[in-house]
Amino acid sequence: MSDQIRVRFAPSPTGSVHIGNIRAAVFNWLFARHEGGKFLLRIEDTDLARSTKEAVDKVLDAMAWLGLDYDEPVVYQTHNAADHLAAVERLLSTGHAYKAVKESVDPATGERKSGEVVLFRMPREGRIEYDDLVKGHMRKKAEDTQDFVIVRSDGSPVFHVANVVDDIKQGVTHIVRGDDHVENTFKHVKIFEALGAPVPKYAHLPMIVNAQGKPYSKRDGAAFVGDFKERGFLPEALFNFLALLGWAPGDDREIMTRKELVEAFSFERCKSSPARFDLKKLLWMNGEYIAAQPPDVFKAELSARLAAAGLPSAPLGCGLDELVPPVQIRTKTLSDLPGNCEYFFREDIAYDPAAVEKRLHAPGAKERLLAFADAFAAMPDFSAETTEALVRAEAEKPTPDGKPVGMGALVHPIRVAVSGRTEGPGLFEMLALLGRDRVVRRLRAAASL
């Protein structure tokens, strides 16, 4: 084992896996893979009320979905209970811990009870110090610390002792976790020393915050790994995004493969200032990953989602293969499918009411739609090129005030009329894919909306 780097992800299963927690797993994993070390998974399941099988499965599913493979069998903290108590006995016998009677209030009944607890003895003078690979040298005056409970009156060891004892047992060399644990680390360093174990190196990762600088939570939108999966994010995109929450490669790269991330990762490039969760950036990144999928993979995804939505498997006016490229490059999340391209598959399209108001109820819009319907119907050849030439020529014509009509006054109403939406593939490509008859019909129908 000697020099080998060993890190672990040690979540307490609570129901759903917060992205802040899984980010710690990503950083542990990247570090282990970069260093050729071992990445371990320890489930800290001592809170029996919350650590249900379901909660544990969510952790395992999140890890599998993000491709965070671990190198040794999962360790369950509850299985180490005897080690925790044995360590407490040692701390008692070496004078690092002592028993005391403590009063407590039963949260269920409100009853006051007294019971014997075990406390860890913190130093009275000097400083407690450790080097943090992200935050630098950390120190705290001993007089600012207090002895703390390590065994409750019901005989159960608390987090601090279980966490440290397990890290010793697993030979963990580097502890990589969120900086909400910084205060705990001053305690843990002393427990390692008291147990005669080498103190691991620490890397405390910066908090993830929202646009207002407040801790990122479910009120900010998707906050749990399962939410991102459900909303059609690709695991590779989320992985890439999480790797950049508190770390950067030092050049201007943002889209990086897993291999590139592993190669570039180091704690020197980790930031200690809070990492802002930028959903727009994640959407952009996800769109890039979707655009880069092999077309067949994207097509299969689209087909499955069309079937689930009860839509036909082929578009109305063209082949599915023709539709895939323009839709694929504009899809930001898989759950946009088939909504963002529904109008290619059904005649009774849904109109976005705000777009109708703005584009179709604009002065003169109705007349223009009817005029284009007639002009398109009369064209000898209906294609992206010919429709574009026709619309451009119309856009050049002067309005009563002398200025040209302009493309905007024409393309927006046409787009809304034929698709019901304000966004989609290039308008002329879209017209060609829909086909002349359908376009003409929709323009006429939209004129009376």
Q: Which residues are catalytic?
A: 218
Given the DSSP bridges, would you call strands 208-209 and 275-276 parallel, antiparallel or unpaired? Answer: parallel
Tell me the closest approach of the beta carbon of residue 224 to ligand GLU, in angstroms: 14
Tell me the closest approach of the beta carbon of residue 176 to ligand GLU, in angstroms: 7
Short-list 380, 352, 364, 357, CA closest to 436: 380
Kindly compute the dihedral angle of the four CA atoms of residues 330, 335, 341, 344, in this order, to the nearest 10 degrees.
Answer: 140
* Contact between residue 276 and residue 210 where contact means Cβ atoms under 8 Å apart: yes
Tell me the closest approach of the beta carbon of residue 47 to ligand GLU, in angstroms: 9
Cβ proximity to ligand GLU, 44 vs 388, nearer residue: 44
Give kind and range of the element (H or E) at residue 16. Answer: none
The correct pick among 6, 17, 44, 302 for binding ligand GLU (CB under 6 A) is 44
Tell me the closest approach of the beta carbon of residue 12 to ligand GLU, in angstroms: 4
Give kind and range of the element (H or E) at residue 294. Answer: none
How many alpha carbons lie under 13 Å from residue 365 in its C-beta half-sphere?
24
Cβ proximity to ligand GLU, 18 vs 368, nearer residue: 18
Q: Could you count the other beta carbons within 10 Å of the beta carbon of residue 369?
A: 25
Tell me the closest approach of the beta carbon of residue 181 to ligand GLU, in angstroms: 6
Window 4-43: residues binding ligand GLU (CB under 6 A)? 10-12
Q: Is 59 in the site for ligand GLU (CB under 6 A)?
A: no
State CA 353 to chain mean position distance: 31
Nearest position to ligand GLU, beta carbon:
177
The correct pick among 23, 174, 177, 415 for binding ligand GLU (CB under 6 A) is 177
Cα(344)–Cα(342) distance, rounded to whole angstroms? 5
**Three-class SS of residue 115?**
strand
Window 137-166: residues binding ligand GLU (CB under 6 A)? 163
Cα(411)–Cα(353) distance, rounded to whole angstroms? 18
Cβ proximity to ligand GLU, 76 vs 284, nearer residue: 76
Cα(315)–Cα(267) distance, rounded to whole angstroms? 50
Cβ proximity to ligand GLU, 92 vs 133, nearer residue: 133
Q: What number of residues does the chain have?
A: 449
Cβ proximity to ligand GLU, 178 vs 424, nearer residue: 178
Tell me the closest approach of the beta carbon of residue 50 to ligand GLU, in angstroms: 11
- 309-315 long-range Cβ contacts below 8 angstroms, 24+ apart: 309/338, 309/342, 311/338, 311/342, 311/345, 311/346, 312/345, 312/346, 314/345, 315/344, 315/345, 315/433
Cβ proximity to ligand GLU, 18 vs 305, nearer residue: 18
Number of residues that bind ligand GLU (CB under 6 A): 8
> Could you give the C-alpha distances from 240 to 180, 237, 247, 288, 422, in angstroms and in order?
23, 5, 11, 11, 30
- For binding to ligand GLU (CB under 6 A), which residues are involved? 10-12, 44, 163, 175, 177, 181
